[in-house]
Amino acid sequence: PQPTLLADYTPFPFTVDQVALTFRLHPTRTRVLSRLALTPRTPGQPLRLQGENLTLISLTLNGSPLTGIAPDAEGLTLPAALLPEGPFTLEAEVEITPEGNTALEGLYMSGGIYCTQCEAEGFRKITFYPDRPDVMAPFRVRIESDMPVLLSNGNPAASGPGWAEWVDPWPKPAYLFALVAGDLVAHSGRFTTRSGRDVPLHIWVRPGDQDRCAFALDALQRSMAWDEQVYGREYDLDVFNIVAVDDFNMGAMENKGLNIFNSKLVLASADTATDADYERIERVIAHEYFHNWTGNRITCRDWFQLCLKEGLTVFRDQQFMFDMRSAPVKRIEDVLTLRARQFREDMGPLAHPVRPDAYVEINNFYTATIYEKGAEVIGMLKRLVGDDGYRAALDLYFDRHDGDAATIEDWLKVFEDATGRDLAQFKRWYTDAGTPRLSVEDDWQDGTYTLSFRQMTPPTPGQPDKPPRVIPIALGLLNPNGDEVLPTTVLEMTEGQQSFRFEGLSARPVPSILRGFSAPVVLDRIAPAGERAFLLAHDTDPVNRWEAGRALAKEVLAQMVTERAEPAADLLAGLEAVARDDTLDPAFRALCLRLPAEDDMAQTLHAGGMVPDPDAIHAARQRLQLALAQRLAPVLPGLIAGLANPGPFSPGAVAAGRRALRLACLGLLTRLDGGAAAARAHAEAGNMTDSLGALACLLDAGRGAAELAAFHSRWQGNRLVIDKWFMVQVLHAAPDRLAEVAGALTQHPDFDWKNPNRFRSVMGALAENHAGFHNASGAAYSLLADWLIRLDSVNPQTTARMSTAFETWTRYDASRRAMAAEALQRIAARPGLSRDTAEMVERILR
């Protein structure tokens, strides 16, 4: 298939003035009647509508049947000669099959519930329509079904037995359309907006799940209040509905007034959800709600601008989480995610700009680069223009573009207009792929300290040359006794090489560079001996304090891998000091004790010109963990006992941080006691975090069979918990047994592979077990390839997404490369492979 190009954008030659849809729902024969009021913008143009897998029943123009119009595979075209010069009405009736829709795009069924997923291009599987985000129209929807609950976007207009009508007053693109019909119950609440409107809030779930919605509702109410306080944005409909469904390709979707969620991002109770689940729920509820302004009121002109809504909305959900929880801890977690997912993408064959300029299948561009790097770019903008400049620019953005389908150019223009800054060079962050490497040298002479930076971005597919970017480098300077002599200051680097001088210092300072992770770059600093340990002990910027320990741990691990060195004493001493320091937030201490992931080490070694050996990395990490455990042995039992939370369960950040540190200590203790303490902790666990965390320790110690069996029988029937049961076994399988363990799990009667969550709980976890996935036998590569081939004919979107497990294949040695390439070629050669997966595999192999 031909790629779609940004350069080819042309406006749609018609306006859609009104959309009226009637759905007669039926599992295999749903009828969709659409009435579109259209006006030509420029006469003499043909009308092209998208439509896929639709059976056309009838088509009329201004009431007269149109004969001789035959749809092609992707839609239908009405020649200009058939169309009036002024406004006209086009009516179409089509038939679709929700029950057979296993791709989960368009209208489909999940556990007996009718639901929709239209972003990016799912609406064309519902009816013929100009399915592009710059076509915005008001929708009226009538649903006819005997299901008890019938929902669509906007406000309820009228209903009776077997039918309901919804009117959405806000013009919207088709990707924000939604419909739900099912036997659902609501967990309800309210929110009074700052202008005094009282809005009922409903979270709709399957009967039996309603007692696990309280946290999501609370998160929604906090999100609504926060968006008013921080961005001045108020909710704009009479009701807000959220629906949880079990079968969903992604996390959740911001359909206007009717958000649809993967149930794992709604349902939570102490005994079934981990702290990570609670945190994700809070964040995604906020994310989808925030889209109401950044995405819905202002949408994207075309899908190349996807980061306009996703990067900004991730940035907003991150800010929200800083305010709800510990800001430094959240920032460290965001940095970890960015490196693990986006840096990995940016350094491999799938690298693409935050605003891409070509795609074959847009579903393949819902990536860490668009989302996470898109958010980092906004963080940099904010740092450069300051908090007030940012606020002024955002106010102008909402003022100027409300109701628009906008572009990155529009976005940058509001910053230029509001702050007077020229952002031409900054724009490269949107157009150029790749992660810059920032190297730094320092010099001390006659009381003057000089920092010299050099930036270099390695080539990425299709972009060999990378001109220098604007890099905001947040810097602090400490004097040798740990006092800050230069508080955080933002240096603006715009050249390929640039020096900054600091005068009037009485002693050579220790630099704390890139505080708060002020730019998404790799900092290459050959730190003098002792500098990292010093910063781990003294840096006043918590993110950089953590980063110092992290960088030291990576250096030590690299030496352990390549030179079989012993674990360095200064690292162990530094981590011990942090672990013992009761004045520090337990969540922060837990993050410091978490050693770098094996994939992260492989990425680092590869970027340094080495061929990473997954077995050696695994072994070195195990040795370092053991050494840390031995070093901390005297304090572990006391920490574990002292960190137990008193009183009833709280999902909040403080209690969760204590659980995180306690489990980190339990993980270390397991290295010493073979799992004795973990077995006790598992037996006593009063919540899912503790239960699953202790179970993972037991599996790491080669134990846990009885606990696994008991866990399964206790939670049989709870899909989300059974997902965890699958996942923990794969994540914690011994590397040389991974393919065997995962293969056996795919034979388990509960392995419902058509359910994306269940599929991911085994096949997604497979690739996260680094040493196991890259085991020299190649067994895991071929197991994954087998399953991707199988899933592709059922669900292309999830298959394509999961193929990214292979995106790092060229890092490894010749034998592993050959096996990975063979697995990829086997997928590529599959007759009838979806466009989604074909594009991904082709790019990964290229």
Catalytic residues: 288
State how far the Cα of 478 lies from the Cα of 486, in Å rounded to an integer: 7
Binding mask 463-492 for ligand LEU (x = CB under 6 A): ------------------------------
Q: Which of 38, 51, 71, 119 binds ligand LEU (CB under 6 A)?
A: 119
* Least distance CB 603 / ligand LEU (angstroms): 25
105: contact with ligand LEU by CB under 6 A: no
- Closest C-alpha to 625, from 724, 553, 526, 721: 553
DSSP-derived secondary structure for 645-688: PPSS---SHHHHHHHHHHHHHHHHHHHHHTTHHHHHHHHH--SH
Q: Which of 165, 254, 345, 346 binds ligand LEU (CB under 6 A)?
A: 254
State how far the Cα of 111 lies from the Cα of 117, in Å rounded to an integer: 15
Query: Residue 152 or residue 460: which is nearer to ligand LEU going by CB?
Result: 152
State how far the Cα of 544 lies from the Cα of 192, in Å rounded to an integer: 40
Segment contacting ligand LEU (CB under 6 A): 247-255, 572-580, 606-614, 725-733? 247-255
Segment contacting ligand LEU (CB under 6 A): 188-196, 252-260, 345-353, 621-629? 252-260
Query: Residue 312 or residue 730: which is nearer to ligand LEU going by CB?
Result: 312
State how far the Cα of 641 lies from the Cα of 669, in Å rounded to an integer: 12
Segment contacting ligand LEU (CB under 6 A): 248-256, 336-344, 382-390, 778-786? 248-256
Query: Residue 118 or residue 394: which is nearer to ligand LEU going by CB?
Result: 118
Q: What are phi and psi of 380, to 5 degrees?
A: -65, -45
State how far the Cα of 630 lies from the Cα of 574, in Å rounded to an integer: 14
Adjacent-strand bridge partners of 207: none
Binding mask 302-321 for ligand LEU (x = CB under 6 A): --------x-----------
Q: Is 168 helix (H, G, I), strand (E, B) or coil?
A: strand
Query: Residue 345 or residue 541: which is nearer to ligand LEU going by CB?
Result: 345
* Least distance CB 253 / ligand LEU (angstroms): 4
* Least distance CB 332 / ligand LEU (angstroms): 23
Segment contacting ligand LEU (CB under 6 A): 246-254, 414-422, 438-446, 569-577? 246-254
Segment contacting ligand LEU (CB under 6 A): 225-233, 250-258, 316-324, 803-811? 250-258
Residues 272/278/282/288 CA torsion (nearest 10 deg) = -50
Query: Residue 250 or residue 824: which is nearer to ligand LEU going by CB?
Result: 250
Segment contacting ligand LEU (CB under 6 A): 245-253, 418-426, 438-446, 682-690? 245-253
> H or E segment at 713?
helix 705-715
Query: Residue 252 or residue 844: which is nearer to ligand LEU going by CB?
Result: 252
Could you say which residues in the range 190-229 bind ligand LEU, by CB under 6 A? none
288: contact with ligand LEU by CB under 6 A: yes
Query: Residue 265 or residue 560: which is nearer to ligand LEU going by CB?
Result: 265
CB atoms within 10 A of CB 179: 25
State how far the Cα of 670 lies from the Cα of 691, in Å rounded to an integer: 15
* Least distance CB 801 / ligand LEU (angstroms): 11
CB atoms within 10 A of CB 139: 23
553: contact with ligand LEU by CB under 6 A: no
State how far the Cα of 362 lies from the Cα of 111, in Å rounded to an integer: 27
Q: Is residue 301 within 8 Å of 307, Cβ to Cβ?
A: no
Task: Give me Rg for the CA atoms of the chain.
Answer: 27
* Least distance CB 360 / ligand LEU (angstroms): 17
Tell me the two tokens of residue 520.
């998404």
Residues 208/210/215/217 CA torsion (nearest 10 deg) = 160
Query: Residue 253 or residue 595: which is nearer to ligand LEU going by CB?
Result: 253
E-state strands within 11-128: 14-24, 30-40, 47-50, 55-61, 64-65, 75-78, 88-96, 106-110, 113-117
- Closest C-alpha to 535, from 492, 580, 571: 571
Q: Which of 287, 341, 545, 659 binds ligand LEU (CB under 6 A)?
A: 287
Adjacent-strand bridge partners of 16: 38
State how far the Cα of 542 lies from the Cα of 536, in Å rounded to an integer: 9
Query: Residue 153 or residue 518: which is nearer to ligand LEU going by CB?
Result: 153
Q: Which of 94, 136, 237, 250 binds ligand LEU (CB under 6 A)?
A: 250
State how far the Cα of 726 lies from the Cα of 732, in Å rounded to an integer: 10
* Least distance CB 288 / ligand LEU (angstroms): 6
Q: Is residue 803 within 8 Å of 820, Cβ to Cβ?
A: no
Q: Which of 253, 350, 418, 475 binds ligand LEU (CB under 6 A)?
A: 253
| Max Cα distance, the chain (Å) | 89
CB atoms within 10 A of CB 633: 14
Query: Residue 123 or residue 588: which is nearer to ligand LEU going by CB?
Result: 123
Segment contacting ligand LEU (CB under 6 A): 232-240, 249-257, 628-636, 692-700? 249-257
125: contact with ligand LEU by CB under 6 A: no
* Least distance CB 313 / ligand LEU (angstroms): 7
* Least distance CB 106 / ligand LEU (angstroms): 13
DSSP-derived secondary structure for 533-587: HHHHHH-SSHHHHHHHHHHHHHHHHHHHHHH-PPPPHHHHHHHHHHHH-TTS-HH
Q: Is residue 88 within 8 Å of 122, Cβ to Cβ?
A: no
* Least distance CB 176 / ligand LEU (angstroms): 9
Residue 781 makes CB contacts below 8 A (sequence gap 6+) with 773, 806, 819, 820, 822, 823
Judged by phi (left if over 0) then psi (alpha if -120 to 50, else beta), residue 230 lies in alpha
* Least distance CB 802 / ligand LEU (angstroms): 15
Can you tell me which residue has the tokens 């739900």?
Answer: 180
* Least distance CB 287 / ligand LEU (angstroms): 6
Segment contacting ligand LEU (CB under 6 A): 239-247, 251-259, 392-400, 713-721? 251-259
Query: Residue 368 or residue 824: which is nearer to ligand LEU going by CB?
Result: 368
Binding mask 325-364 for ligand LEU (x = CB under 6 A): ----------------------------------------
* Least distance CB 797 / ligand LEU (angstroms): 9
CB atoms within 10 A of CB 786: 15
Could you say which residues in the range 804-843 bind ligand LEU, by CB under 6 A? none
Query: Residue 240 or residue 812: which is nearer to ligand LEU going by CB?
Result: 240
Query: Residue 134 or residue 310: which is nearer to ligand LEU going by CB?
Result: 310
366: contact with ligand LEU by CB under 6 A: yes
Kindly determine how many residues on this chain lie close enough to bind ligand LEU according to the rule CB under 6 A.
9
Q: Residue 70: is it exposed, middle or buried by C-beta count within 10 angstroms (0-12/13-18/19+)?
A: exposed
Residues that bind ligand LEU in the complex, under the rule CB under 6 A: 119, 250, 252-254, 287-288, 310, 366
